[in-house]
Amino acid sequence: MSFEERASYYDNLADAGEVESIAATDPSVLYRVTGSSVLINAEVYSGIIDTFNRKYPNIYYRYGEDYREPIVTLNFDPTYLRDDPANVVGNTINININWFNNNPDKVSVIAYYIAATVMDYNSSAPEWLKKAVNYYIGVEFGAAGYEFSGRYYGGSYEDDAQIGASFLHWISSKSGVDIVYRVNRLLCSNEWYDDDFWFGETGKSLERLWAEYRAG
């Protein structure tokens, strides 16, 4: 049977009440599994669960809002239509079963999506900064395919999540300030973000830091 046929078969069983939509719940109550987990390669499934168990507590302890881990739903979605591995809505990670079956060596990419579940930011957070922090945490916790780029000489830190994350990494190394941790604390709080944050933390404006980054 093709992937689509297996997905349809599973969904028909679920509609008839012959299978449970919730396949497993971790004893530590950090996550629940929903959807069609029976359609994913068993080793890949185990790898995702193992990665979650090992990395989620550490990610949440460092970057979570109040150090009280909420339950995350790992939804194995047989109808996922996009080409990316997953997406995050609130505390739910919607997992592209087909992508992971085709990339069994890249299960650690789930760390990037785990990070997104803990980023409960206030509305003052600039979009580029949210994406850059998420990418940075993905690198920090070993998400497959995520790495800091080399020096970027053109454009803007707003152009791409990897560029923004690499810029944040450079700021930390040059200033000695754990800038991603500080940004995350601010955006998880009731305090409002503005560009004065950078001067307060590093003694330089955001645009000055970017100019120095580009200049090498």
Which pLDDT score is estimated for 26?
42
Give CA–CA dist 56/61, Å, rounded: 8
**What is the reported pTM?**
0.85
**Range picked from 18-27, 35-44, 62-71 for highest mean pLDDT:** 35-44
Same domain for 9 and 70: yes
Domain boundary among 82, 98, 118: 118
The H or E element containing residue 24 is strand 22-25
Note whether 69 and 133 are same-domain residues: no
Which domain-ending residue is among 65, 97, 118? 118
Band of pLDDT at residue 140, cut at 50, 70 and 90: very high
Q: Return the CA Rg of the chain.
A: 19
Measured CA to CA in angstroms, residue 172 lies from 19, 147, 206 at distances of 50, 16, 13
User: pLDDT tens digits for 37-67?
Assistant: 889 999 999 999 999 999 999 999 999 876 5
Confidence of residue 27 (pLDDT cuts 50, 70, 90): very low
Task: Say yes or no: 43 and 71 in one domain.
Answer: yes
Q: How many residues does the chain have?
A: 216
Categorize the per-residue pLDDT at 23 as very low, low, confident or very high, splitting at 50, 70 and 90.
very low
pLDDT at 24: 40
Q: Which of 51, 86, 118 represents a domain boundary (last residue)?
A: 118
pLDDT in tens, 158-202: 999 999 999 999 999 999 999 999 999 999 998 999 999 999 999
Residues 156 and 83 in one domain: no
Q: Average per-residue pLDDT in the chain?
A: 87
Domain with 184, as residue range(s), is 127-215
Cα–Cα distance for residue pair 127/158, rounded to 1 Å: 8
Own/partner contacts of 120-123, CB < 8 Å, gap of 24 or more, are: 120/65, 120/188, 121/187, 121/188, 122/187, 122/188, 122/189, 122/190, 122/192, 122/193
Query: Is residue 25 scored above 60 in pLDDT?
Result: no
Number of domains in the chain: 2
Both 105 and 26 in a single domain? yes
Q: Is the pLDDT of residue 3 over 70?
A: no
Q: Return the SS3 of 95.
A: strand
